Chains A and B, each alone.
Chain A
Amino acid sequence: MAEMYNNMGPQPGMPRPPGNPDPGPFGNPFTGAGSGFIRGGLGAYGERILGSSSEYVQSNISRYFSDPQYYFQVNDQYVRNKLKVVLFPFLHRGHWTRISEPVGGRLSYKPPIYDINAPDLYIPFMAFGTYVVLAGLSLGLNGKFTPEALNWLFVKGLVGWFLQVMLLKVTLLSLGSGEAPLLDIVAYGGYAYAGLCLASFAKIIWGYSYYALMPWTCLCTGIFLVKTMKRVLFAEVRSYDSSKHHYLLLFLALVQFPLLIWLGNISVNWLF
C-alpha cells in the first residue's frame, strides 16, 4: 500500500514531459526560455494546460507559432548590419539565403546572431516603437498632439503591420504553400517600419526631404521584401512557376508604395 502511494505520489503534480523529438538550440516554445512566458502569461493554469496537452495540439501550435525566443537572439553587430541591409538592400553584396543547419534530423535555420539573413523580431518591435514616438513628435510639432491621437496612431501602425503580414501571407498562399512560420512573416512585415522611421525623422528635420526619402523608402522596402520572399518561395514551394512568381513579387513591391505612403502620412484622420 505504501509502495503504491510512493509510486503514484510525485506524478500528478509534475507536468508530463512533452516528448518533443528535436528541441533545437534554444528549446521549443514549451520547454525553452520562451515557455516561461507562455506559462507565466497563462497564470496558474498555464502549467496545467500546457503540461497536459496532447502532442498533436502541441505540434500544431508549434507549427503555427514558432518559438519567439529564436527571434530575439541578436546582438549589436547584427542589428547594425541588418539595418544596413534593410535600408540599403542593393548594397548587400552577399547572398540572401538563410543558412540552415541540421538539428536532430530536421532542418532548421541558424539563429540571427550567426546569419545576417535570418529574420528577427527585435528590429521590427523597436522600429514600430520608434515610428510611434516619431509620429507623436511630428504631431506635436504641428500642434496637434493629444494622447488620444497617439493611441490612434498606434492602432493605425498595428493595422499597417497587419496588412503587410496579410499581403505576404496571401502571396505565399497563392503560390501554393503557406508554410513559412507566422513569426517569420510578422518579422518581414515589420522591417518596413525601419524605413518609415527614417523618412519620418527626415520630415521632422526638413519638410521637403520627405518627398525625396519616401519613394526611396518604398523602393528599398520593396526590393528587400522581393529578395527575401524569393528565397522563402524557393525554400517552401515545390513547383517553380516562373512568370507567376515574378508577377506576384512585382505586385508585392508595388503595393509597398501606397501602404507606406498611407502609414507615413501622420495625421489624426483615418485615411488621409
Chain B
Amino acid sequence: MTKDFAVPPVVFPSGGSSVGANVQQRRFPATPFQPPRPSSSAIPFMSFDIGSAAASSATPAGPFGGTIASSSSFGGGGSSSFEDEEPLLDELGIHPDQIWKKTRSILNPFRINQSVHKDSDLSGPIFLYLALCLFQLLAGKIQFGVILGWIVVSSIFLYVVFNMLAGRNGNLNLHTCTSLVGYSLLPVVVLSAVSLFVPQGAGPIRFVLAAVFVLWSTRACATLVVSLADGGEEHRGLITYACFLIYTLFSLLVIF
C-alpha cells in the first residue's frame, strides 16, 4: 500500500551526541515545526510563528499579532490586525463621552436635557453606584450590597408604578427605568461626598442638605421618566411622589 500523501521528513538537528543513546530522552527541536508554506496559495492561511521566526509576507507586523489575529480570524483573511480590533470599551458597550454627556445633563438642576437619555445604558449607573459606595466607604459604612439591592428594588417599583398608572399606552421598559434611576442618583452621590465634610450626627444642616439634594434628584428622575416614556403626563405628580420616596430612602443611607 503506497502512501498517497507526502509526509515531510522531520529532522531534528542533533546536539552532537549519538542518536541511539538518546532514544528515551526527548529532544526539543531548536526550531519549531514549520508546516509547508506554499508560495502562492488559493486559501490564505497564517503561519504559526512563535518567537522571532521569520515572518512571511502574509503575516502582519509583530510576533504576537500573528497568533492573536490568527486565533481570532481562523482560516479567514490575513488583514485583521491588532490595530484593527475594536477598542475594549467599545466592545464592552461603554461609551465614556455618552456617559459624561448624560451625567452633565443632570448636573444642571433647572434644565435637564432629555434627548441625550433616549438610548439607555447601564454602565453610567454602575459607575455612579461605585462612586456612591466609595464615598460611603470613606464615611466608614460598607454598604455595597445594600445600595445595589435598593437600586434594583426601587427601579422595579418605579417600573411597576409607572406602567400601571400610564395604563394601556405606558411603554417604560425596565432597562430604561433602571438607567434613569441610576443616573438620577448623581445628586445623592454629591450629597454623600459633601456630607463627608459636614459634622457627624443628626444635626439640622444635614437634613437641609439632604432635602435639597433629594429634591434635585426627584425633579431629575421625574422629568426624565415622564418625558421619555408615553402616558405619564397626566400622572406627573403621582410619579414624582414615587421618585421622591426612592431618593429619600437613599438619602437615609447617607445621613445616618
Contact = CB atoms under 8 A, between A and B. Distances in A.
B248 interface: yes
A130 interface: yes
B253 A34 contact: no
Given A79-B238, A129-B245, A136 B167 contact: no
A140 interface: yes
A76 B255 CA distance: 31
Nearest to B234: A75
Contacts of B202: 140-141, 143
Interface in B121-172: 143, 146, 157, 160-161, 163-165, 167-170
Interface residues on A, range: 20 to 34
- Chain A facing B: main interface SS: helix
Nearest to B201: A143
Interface in B157-212: 157, 160-161, 163-165, 167-170, 202
A74 B165 contact: yes
B255 A140 contact: yes
B216 to A, nearest CB: 18
Interface string A23-48: 00011000011101100000000000
B237 interface: yes
Interface residues of B, number: 26
Contacts of B169: 33
A73 interface: yes
Contacts of A74: 165, 235, 238
Nearest to A133: B248
Nearest to B159: A37
B249 interface: yes
14 contacts: A33-B167, A37-B160, A72-B161, A121-B164, A122-B164, A122-B238, A126-B242, A129-B157, A129-B245, A132-B249, A137-B252, A141-B202, A145-B252, A147-B143
